[in-house]
Chains A and B, each alone.
Chain A
Amino acid sequence: MGMGNGKPPIVEIAHLSKSYRRGSQTIPVLEDITFDIADGEFLALMGPSGSGKSTLLNLIAGIDKADQGTIRVGGVDITSLSDKELAAWRSANVGFIFQFYNLMPVLTAFENVELPLLLTGLSRNERREHVDLALQLVGLSDRVDHYPAQLSGGQQQRVAIARAVVSDPAILVADEPTGDLDRVSAGEILQLMDRLVHEFDKTIIMVTHDPRAAEKARIIRHLEKGILTDSDGQPASPVAGS
């Protein structure tokens, strides 16, 4: 299939369905989703609350399990992986950016960024180099010993981004990354994410309500009641960016 940026797909989703059970009721969240995301793409997933965008993001990131369909990421069918394999896969391939940063309050900025590297075989010195580099990238080299509570919201999100990129994953998933930030901080975060795509060839999949945030993405996809649509509400083409 042809890709928006001309690169081969890094994420291939086919006939993906997901539903939740609430008591005796089954509530469908995603229905027969099929689409690809090109390598190095910056994609925004938009839609009203309850449309299934966070669920889709979780499935792509391997932190939730689909009922039906397949998700291939970098050629690996993650829907066939066990929980343990999925955990190892996530730590090597996916970086996470959350709306509320999800930093460990008892760890310093440095230690928070170091966290994913503890699962690698890197030495202490190697970890230090990686963390320094990541914090330098987000412009927080002078805040290494600060605890999250001593940082502003924007700074905390930058630490979270440093943590997301420190193990050099191919994909970054961001769930409302600017949802808890003021306008200026949100702009800085989006600029940083844009840089990650253009300078470091990262693929970013971002869920957002914010049209200004979505504008930064090269491709915008909408979800309505679990179905992928174009901006005019019609069922979308399975190729992101087409």
Chain B
Amino acid sequence: MFLLKLIIRNAFRHKLRSALTVVGVAIAILAFGLLRTLVGLWYHGVEASSATRLVTRNAISLVFSLPLSHKDRIRQVPGVQAVSYGNWFGGIYIDEKHFFANYAVEPKSYLDLYPEFVLSPEQKGAFFLDRKGCIVGKRLADTYGWKIGDLITLRGTIFPGQWEFVLRGIYRGAEKSTEERALMFHWDYLNETLKKTMPRRADQVGFYMIGVTKPELAAEVSQAVDGIFRNSLAETLTETEKAFQLGFVAMTEAIMIAIKIVSYVVIVIIMVVAANTMAMTARERIAEYATMKTLGFGWVHIAGVVFGESLVIALSGGLLGVALTFPASHWIETELAQFFPAFPVSMTTIYLDLAAAAMVGTVAGIFPTWRGATIGIADGLRRIG
């Protein structure tokens, strides 16, 4: 108890120095936590994937479409429970800064496959009935203050023109990881318009979503679907929704690796800074450690005092960093909503933050602890005055 008192008082003896070190550790831990959250977000879509959903796309590339006629043949594959389809629309709201995902989908089958998009029966019915109707996630509606009945205009990029939709429903995510910043509208609306303006592009879909009866059948069904269309004009590639999402993530893997490396570098830098501070502190207190040894305290006591001080400073910084992570993530969610609609800090990240802070304290304390514990008394006492 007495040693703990000594450790805490020593830790905050030089208030400015301790405060700067604590703030330094806190900023490093904050940066570490936010970068880890960013990396986690990148895999967010992967985590939200269902094991019973498959995605079928053109085998050449996602930018090539598939004929609508594939639908009925896919449905006949044993193990397939439901089939839906859609196109990535890529429409722009106001300007490019206001980005959000928007798809043309077959509404009924799509919402059946995605029970995590929770919509009231009234809104769902209204959406099904209105061919120009659309639904949006709650977060997206909140961002733009949209209400049911509002007219939303998107500028088409892949499908040129001004596209008007009537908001018929606002869905909520059943899970925290459910995407709530997307807009979905009737694929028929897109298709019928294309028939008039670009008939060559009509009756083509960007992807099929397949619901399988059991997750174990995923591989079998994938092979069967791709087998049907092998050697056809539009060969398919079918994979689990998770693998499909990972494919997107893989395109930016190098950036993610760089962010991960930066997050570790931040910790290493603060470790060096904290180690320097602790070494300086221990050097100043050598005579005190020698005095304690003179009075009969052993190396274990001295090591405890030095190491404890290093841990107290690093963990104080760590706790402050963790505490700052929440308002920082909230700020990112509100101020940078167009880039990070949700920026949830996971418990794993908090544990990683605290582990990183403990590691900073441990590494920073090793040399000063060894020095304090092994200094000869006579040598130590000479360092006074």
Contacts and interface: CB of A to CB of B under 8 A. Distances in A.
Interface of A: 55, 58, 61, 63-64, 84, 87-88, 90-92, 96, 98-100, 102, 104-107, 111, 114-116, 118-119, 163
A105 B12 CA distance: 12
B6 A63 contact: no
A106 B384 CA distance: 16
Closest 7 CB pairs of A and B: A91-B296, A106-B9, A63-B377, A102-B291, A64-B378, A116-B295, A119-B296
Nearest to A87: B296
A102 B288 contact: yes
Contacts of A105: 13
B329 to A, nearest CB: 37
A96 B294 contact: yes
Contacts of A84: 298
Interface in B275-313: 287-288, 291-298
B144 interface: no
Given A63-B378, A91-B295, A104 B384 contact: no
Interface string B354-385: 00000000000000000000001110010011
A98 B291 contact: yes
29 contacts: A55-B378, A58-B378, A63-B293, A63-B294, A63-B377, A64-B378, A87-B293, A87-B298, A90-B296, A96-B294, A98-B291, A98-B384, A99-B385, A100-B384, A100-B385, A102-B287, A102-B294, A102-B381, A104-B6, A104-B288, A105-B13, A106-B10, A107-B6, A111-B5, A114-B2, A115-B292, A116-B295, A116-B296, A163-B295
Given A90-B296, A106-B10, A107-B9, 18 more contacts: A63-B294, A63-B377, A87-B297, A88-B296, A90-B295, A96-B294, A96-B295, A99-B385, A100-B384, A100-B385, A102-B288, A104-B291, A106-B13, A114-B2, A116-B295, A116-B296, A119-B295, A119-B297
B346 to A, nearest CB: 39
Nearest to A173: B294
B294 A90 contact: yes
A148 to B, nearest CB: 11
Interface of B is mostly: helix
Contacts of A55: 378
Contacts of A58: 377-378
A168 B210 CA distance: 87
A181 to B, nearest CB: 14
Nearest to A127: B2
A163 B377 CA distance: 18
Contacts of B385: 99-100
A102 B285 CA distance: 11
Given A63-B294, A87-B297, A119-B297, A98 B13 contact: no
B11 to A, nearest CB: 9
B290 to A, nearest CB: 8
Interface string B1-40: 0100110011001000000000000000000000000000
A98 B381 contact: yes
A31 to B, nearest CB: 18
A123 B93 CA distance: 75
Contacts of A61: 294
A84 B381 CA distance: 19
Contacts of A64: 376-378
A111 B298 CA distance: 19
A126 to B, nearest CB: 15
A118 B2 CA distance: 8
A242 to B, nearest CB: 30
B9 A115 contact: no
B377 A106 contact: no
A173 to B, nearest CB: 10
A98 B385 CA distance: 11
Nearest to B379: A64
Given A100-B384, A100-B385, A105-B13, A115 B295 contact: yes
A105 B287 CA distance: 12
Nearest to A59: B378
A115 B10 CA distance: 15
A116 B13 CA distance: 22
Contacts of A88: 296
A91 B292 CA distance: 10
A9 B6 CA distance: 39
Contacts of A100: 384-385
Contacts of B10: 106
B303 to A, nearest CB: 14
A104 B376 CA distance: 18
A28 B385 CA distance: 25
A104 B10 CA distance: 10
A202 B378 CA distance: 24
A63 B295 CA distance: 10
A207 B381 CA distance: 15
A84 to B, nearest CB: 7
A99 B9 CA distance: 24
A159 to B, nearest CB: 13
Nearest to A115: B295
Contacts of A114: 2
A99 B287 CA distance: 12
Contacts of A106: 6, 9-10, 13
B45 to A, nearest CB: 53
B194 to A, nearest CB: 78
A61 to B, nearest CB: 8
A63 B291 CA distance: 10
Contacts of A115: 292, 295
A62 to B, nearest CB: 9
